Structure formats: structure tokens, C-alpha cells
Structure 1
Amino acid sequence: MRTNEEAARQILHGAALLATRARAERAGKITLSQTGVLRHLAHSGALTPGELAERLRTQPQSLSRAFAALEDQDWIRRRPDPADGRQSLLEITPAGTEVLAAEMRPRELWLAGALESLTEAERDFLVVAAGLLERLATEEY
């Protein structure tokens, strides 16, 4: 039986290899930080810059260029936070949704093709594992 530390090493190794390959399969039209911002806004809805930075595990200042570039392209918009007038909310625009889909499409096609080599049970197992990985990544321990 493997220890939690051994399991952690194996999971991290596999996840890192998959992430590296997925990054290589991207369209490359926008930066990785811009992709992360758009993905979080598409998934979570409007967020403050601070909330978004927290979810991306970084500081809001380090995302200011990404925010500015995405706003310049009209891929995100900033509006006042109705709950706190001192804050603003960032939200993805329809054009941002389109550019994100175009950026993610090559990754999805690559992975869909790779999944063809697996059995249905293996694919189902990976879907369950993906849900567990997401839960581990988003919960605080």
C-alpha cells in the first residue's frame, strides 16, 4: 500500500505532465495568464480583481497587465461592484468567451483524440478523478 506522500508525488507528476502537454496543444493566441483569467471568469462569473487573483494564487498587481490587455481587446469588462462601490467587478464578454473557446479548442481536440485509446471505464474513471482533482485544488486544507 502506498503512503499519502507517494500518492501525492505520483498524482502531481501525472497532472504536471498532462498540464505541460495541454499547454503545448493550445492555440497560443493569448497568454497563459490571460487564458487563466478568462477561464475563471467564464466558470465563476463576475469577480473582483482581488477574488480573481486569489483563485489564481497570485497578487492582483501581477495580473494588472493581463487585465488591461483583456480590457483593451474587449474580452473582459469592468463594472462597479453593487455591494461595494470602492470595488469593481470583472466579467467576461461574449467576445472573450469566443477567444477563450478558440484558445481551448486545440487542447480539447488533442485530449479527445487521446481518450479514444482508453476504454469507456478508463475514461469514466478519469472524469471522476478530474472532479476529485478540482475539489482538492479549490478546497482549503
Structure 2
Amino acid sequence: MPRVTSPSLGDELLGVVARLNRWASRQAVFDVPPAQARLLAQLDELGPSRIGDLAQADHTSQPTMSAQVGRLEQRGWVQRSADPADARASLIALSPMGAETLASVRRARGAVVAPVVEQLGAADRARLEDAVAVLRELLAIAVAAEDPSPATKGQ
């Protein structure tokens, strides 16, 4: 397998990870629409957020995000609270039920990947464990270097 040069390494990495994510989502069995699972994960990552900030982070319109949040709210997966920085706004956060739902989705997706990982030899599994550690470090570097997240802009 040829080595990937640095400028295209990021493209290759993102492409492989995205494809693996899509494959795992297609194979896993869970009762959460993909867009709702993505929003639960986004809330888990960003923490309590305004609807406009969620829309910006998801590259969607505010009305679309309001509808998505409404569906999550109906299922008891999110809760609203007053925004201490602006009494006119509210913050959306994962509820305990939403956190458990997200954990269930993640377990279902992980369960379809685990048998595939087990098919790798011991040396490749060890390399994969090392790669995951490097990816966590890469993410920490990226997050530390980014501008304030959409959920905190303007606060």
C-alpha cells in the first residue's frame, strides 16, 4: 500500500473515517433516525446550545433545526433551559434519556464494527489501537486550535 503524502493524508483520513461511519450506521440496528442521532451526538459534543448555534454547526437553517429539536423534545431526549446570558433565548441540552439513547446508538454501531476488528491479526489490532490514540491526540490538537465553537460564539 503506497504511503499517503501529507497534503492528501487529511483527505484520506476523513474519507476512510466517514465511510466507516456510514457503513457502521447502515449495518447497525437502532430506532433513531440518522439526523436525530447526529444531533444527539452534536449536543453531547457541544453541550447546552442555542438553536441558532446548533443550526450553524450542522450547516442547516434555523427553522430546520427548530423542527429537529422539537422532535427530540417530544421523545424526551433533550431539555430546554433559560440561557443565563440572554433571557429571551433558551439552551438545548441532552436529557438523561437522550444521553442513554445516544449511548445505545453508539453501542449498536460499535457492535457491528467489533467483529470486523476481530478479523484483523493481533499486530494489526495493536496498530489500530495505537492509531485510535493518535486520532484522539489529533482531535485534541484540532479542538484546542479552533475558534470558539458555534455553541459559544456570541456568549
Q: Which amino acid aligns with 2:132?
A: L
TM-score normalised to the size of structure 2? Answer: 0.74
Instruction: For 1:99 and 1:119, locate their aligned partners in 2 and report how far apart those are by CA, in whole Å.
Output: 29
Gapped regions of structure 1 (runs ≥ 5)? none
Matches within 5 A, 1:28-39: 28-39=30-41
Instruction: For 1:52 and 1:119, locate their aligned partners in 2 and report how far apart those are by CA, in whole Å.
Output: 36
Instruction: For 1:60 and 1:45, locate their aligned partners in 2 and report how far apart those are by CA, in whole Å.
Output: 18
Equivalenced residue count is: 140
Instruction: For 2:52 and 2:30, locate their aligned partners in 1 and report how far apart those are by CA, in whole Å.
Output: 26
Helix, strand or coil at the partner of 2:65: helix
* Residues 84-93 or 40-49, more deviating: 40-49
Look up the match of 1:56.
Answer: 58
Kindly indicate whether the alpha-carbon contact (under 8 Å) linking 1:79 and 1:88 is maintained by their aligned counterparts in 2: yes
Look up the match of 1:100.
Answer: 102
Helix, strand or coil at the partner of 1:78: strand
Q: Between the two proteins, what is the percent identity of the paired residues? A: 28
Q: CA RMSD in A?
A: 2.6
Q: Which amino acid aligns with 1:6?
A: S
Look up the match of 1:122.
Answer: 128
Instruction: For 1:105 and 1:2, locate their aligned partners in 2 and report how far apart those are by CA, in whole Å.
Output: 31
**Cα distance change of structure 1 residues 67 and 85 upon mapping to structure 2, 3 Å threshold:** same
Q: Which amino acid aligns with 1:31?
A: P
Q: Which amino acid aligns with 2:89?
A: Q
State the 1:73 CA deviation: 1.2
Instruction: For 1:28 and 1:129, locate their aligned partners in 2 and report how far apart those are by CA, in whole Å.
Output: 26
Matches within 5 A, 1:8-47: 8-47=10-49
**Cα distance change of structure 1 residues 131 and 60 upon mapping to structure 2, 3 Å threshold:** farther
Instruction: For 1:43 and 1:7, locate their aligned partners in 2 and report how far apart those are by CA, in whole Å.
Output: 25
Helix, strand or coil at the partner of 2:99: helix
Instruction: For 1:7 and 1:129, locate their aligned partners in 2 and report how far apart those are by CA, in whole Å.
Output: 13
Helix, strand or coil at the partner of 1:79: strand
State the 1:136 CA deviation: 4.9
Look up the match of 1:139.
Answer: 146
**Cα distance change of structure 1 residues 121 and 9 upon mapping to structure 2, 3 Å threshold:** closer
Kindly indicate whether the alpha-carbon contact (under 8 Å) linking 1:36 and 1:56 is maintained by their aligned counterparts in 2: no
**Cα distance change of structure 1 residues 130 and 14 upon mapping to structure 2, 3 Å threshold:** farther
Helix, strand or coil at the partner of 2:71: helix
